[in-house]
Amino acid sequence: MSGLPRLQLPGNRPFAPRVSAFTRPFWEALGGGRLTSTQCQQCGIVSFPPRNLCRACWSRDVAWLDLAAHGTLYSFTRVHVAPGAFLGDTPYAIGIVDLHQGPRLMCRMIGEVDTQHLDGPVEMLVLQYQDGPLFGAQVCEPS
């Protein structure tokens, strides 16, 4: 498996994540091109972001799994007035993506996105900054 497409971006992440012992495997996998999260071993619910406690049945019996590289664009918003760290990027889009295993996540959309893309396929991306990775998504081009 070659992993998620990687987009090189200049500089450091605007708000670098705080990495804990629990979330370190997530960030290391993302750096390696894999989007991962946790799945409850009791009821099967996949959480995003990763959790060490199941949000459905409260079990602590969770395991890491690889998430799908593709999802469906549920919604998006275009940001014109941004926090200072993102001023150079406006306007940009933030999407809500439903991954095939169930989790719904919010992330930066790269490239063109418009209402015609709603309910359409998106591909997850690694946004590779100098100080580490973040994740994003882009609309899949029709083939």
Quote the least distance from Cβ 40 to Zn ion, whole Å.
3
* Cβ proximity to Zn ion, 78 vs 104, nearer residue: 104
Quote the least distance from Cβ 142 to Zn ion, whole Å.
37
* Cβ proximity to Zn ion, 1 vs 63, nearer residue: 63
* Cβ proximity to Zn ion, 48 vs 76, nearer residue: 48
Name, in order, each residue with C-beta under 8 angstroms of 14's C-beta and a sequence gap of 6 or more.
Answer: 83, 85, 86
* Cβ proximity to Zn ion, 61 vs 89, nearer residue: 61
Name, in order, each residue with C-beta under 8 angstroms of 61's C-beta and a sequence gap of 6 or more.
Answer: 40, 41, 42, 54
Characterize the bridge pairing of strands 132-139 and 104-109. Answer: parallel
Instruction: Judge whether 50 and 37 are in contact, CB under 8 Å.
Output: yes
Quote the least distance from Cβ 64 to Zn ion, whole Å.
15
Q: Where do contacts with Zn ion occur on this chain (CB under 5 A)?
A: 40, 42-43, 45, 54, 56-57, 59
Quote the least distance from Cβ 38 to Zn ion, whole Å.
10
Instruction: Judge whether 96 and 74 are in contact, CB under 8 Å.
Output: yes
